[in-house]
Amino acid sequence: MSHQFGRRDFLRAAAVTGAAASLALAAAPPPPVRNLVEMLRLMRKIRHFEEVLTGLYKYESFLSQGDIVGDMYDFASKGIIAGAVHLYIGQEAVAVGVSAALNPDDFVTSSHRGHGHAIAKGAALGPMMAELMGRKTGCSKGCGGSMHIFSKELGLLGGNGIVGAQIPLAIGAAFSAKYRGSDQVAVAYFGEGASNQGTFHEALHMAALWELPVVFVCENNLYAASTAAEITLAIPNVAERGAGYGMPGHIVDGQDVLAVYAAASAAVERARAGGGPTLLECKTYRFTSHAGAGRGQHNNPEELKVWLNRDPIALFEKKLRDDGVMTAAEQEGLKQQVLAEVEEAVAFAKNSPFPTFDEMPVTPDTDLLA
């Protein structure tokens, strides 16, 4: 045996079975009340920001009519926002639960469905809305768009229009943190669809090999665009794939923000302490279609109904009421505050000018017209 491997460490790592390896979940203290309210606020920010994008400002209308409700905020169909918009609605608990476990200088790489990841990490709504409207005041000066929200200050290393490309970028940020001797941690958000890309496997492998401080957050929302996970995954749980790379894999209820927080805290703590990477699979659901705001290309009303009953915001609000943390009135107040904030963001964006060609942020040595 020894001549075969000759590496005790390797064998020990191989003995760790992904799904079975338990994270010290109990070690994560529950967030203080102030943070609980902030978590709800962030979830609402994500939801209302996106509702505005797609004319779903009145979410109930979407439910009752099962169709896009056009109104003055229906930017997508009116062309105020151009291009594809991939909504995060239904998955808010994941980004908010994970971000609550992160420090401000930790890194995040994100997917095409990235508004939630950015808002949860602290991105301001005004510049984000302006970016989606292609304005000069956008967080990427109008050069990024919906799929490319960056912030150096917040450690946001961008969304990505290439499915799975963000996963190696995250291990690069983790590599950088380890190299520089910093205690920063990196998170890669991706879907179960991306877990079928080679980049997922290569990145998990190298992260485990070099014990990089990274947390892989797979949001399994059951659909890759409109293709059901059951016809693309050879095993039911993406988390089990961690075992193949010698890292813990953990299945998390992605509709329960506190469950996500607990799992993420343990994984982040493990990474920060030099324990290496963790794979979290958050079971969740996309309430709208792959892009835009239709009923869902999955178009399975029965399935949708089941998941709408597990709306992460409704679940969390109930939990906070049951625990006596907030009253219904306080929650309504918070919702109104967020709606006002979103309105402000819309006004800010609409009142911002479009960028001009000369303002494109290129380096001085770029000869655009060569």
Around Cβ 352, how many Cβ atoms within 10 Å?
19
Distance in angstroms (rounded) separating the CA atoms of residues 243 and 297 = 32
Angle at 261 between CA 256 and CA 262, to 5 degrees: 100
Residue 357 binds another protein, judged by CB under 8 A: no
Interface stretch with another protein, choices 39-47, 76-84, 147-155, 222-230 (CB under 8 A)? 147-155
Residue 307 binds another protein, judged by CB under 8 A: no
Closest separation between CB of residue 31 and another protein, Å? 27
Q: What is the DSSP letter of 91?
A: -
Residue 364 binds another protein, judged by CB under 8 A: no
Closest separation between CB of residue 130 and another protein, Å? 11
- The number of angstroms, rounded, from the C-alpha of 162 to the middle of its chain's C-alpha atoms is 15
Secondary structure class of 41 (helix, strand, coil):
helix
Residue 93 binds another protein, judged by CB under 8 A: no
Closest separation between CB of residue 344 and another protein, Å? 21
List Cα–Cα distances, 340 to 48, 179, 303, 330, in angstroms. 10, 43, 33, 15
Residue of the chain from 14, 17, 84, 144 that contacts another protein (CB under 8 A):
144
Distance in angstroms (rounded) separating the CA atoms of residues 14 and 366 = 48
Q: In this structure, what are the phi and psi dihedrals at residue 71, rounded to the nearest 5 degrees?
A: -150, -165
Residue of the chain from 205, 295, 321, 335 that contacts another protein (CB under 8 A):
205
Interaction pattern, residues 107-126, with another protein; x per rule: CB under 8 A: x-x-----------------
Which 29-88 residues touch another protein, going by CB under 8 A?
none
Which 276-305 residues touch another protein, going by CB under 8 A?
none
| Rounded (to 5) percent helix, strand, coil in the chain | 45, 10, 45
Q: What is the DSSP letter of 264?
A: H
Dihedral over Cα of 361, 364, 366, 368: its sign:
positive
Question: Residue 28 or 187: which CB sits closer to another protein?
Answer: 187
Residue 230 binds another protein, judged by CB under 8 A: no
Residue 177 binds another protein, judged by CB under 8 A: yes
Q: Write the single-letter amino acid at 217.
A: V
Residue 170 binds another protein, judged by CB under 8 A: yes
> Residue with structure tokens 């151009």?
82
Closest separation between CB of residue 355 and another protein, Å? 10
Residue 354 binds another protein, judged by CB under 8 A: no
The length of the chain, given as a count of residues: 370
Residue 168 binds another protein, judged by CB under 8 A: yes
Taking each helix axis from N to C end, the angle separating 92-99 and 312-322, rounded to the nearest 10 degrees, works out to: 60
Residue of the chain from 3, 6, 26, 34 that contacts another protein (CB under 8 A):
6
Closest separation between CB of residue 89 and another protein, Å? 24
Residue 167 binds another protein, judged by CB under 8 A: yes
Distance in angstroms (rounded) separating the CA atoms of residues 147 and 60 = 27
Interface stretch with another protein, choices 52-60, 74-82, 134-142, 329-337 (CB under 8 A)? 134-142
Q: Write the single-letter amino acid at 90.
A: G
Q: Which residues contact 274 (CB under 8 A, 6 or more apart)?
A: 211, 213
Residue 140 binds another protein, judged by CB under 8 A: yes
Interface stretch with another protein, choices 28-36, 144-152, 284-292, 330-338 (CB under 8 A)? 144-152
81 touches 75 (CB < 8 A): yes
E strand map for 25-113: 107-109
Closest separation between CB of residue 364 and another protein, Å? 11
Residue 209 binds another protein, judged by CB under 8 A: yes
Residue 165 binds another protein, judged by CB under 8 A: yes
**Residue 319: both structure tokens together:** 């939990």
Question: Residue 61 or 176: which CB sits closer to another protein?
Answer: 176
Which residues of this chain interact with another protein, rule CB under 8 A?
6-7, 9-10, 107, 109, 138-144, 148, 150-152, 157-158, 160-162, 165, 167-180, 186, 198-199, 202-203, 205-206, 209-211, 360-363, 365-367, 370
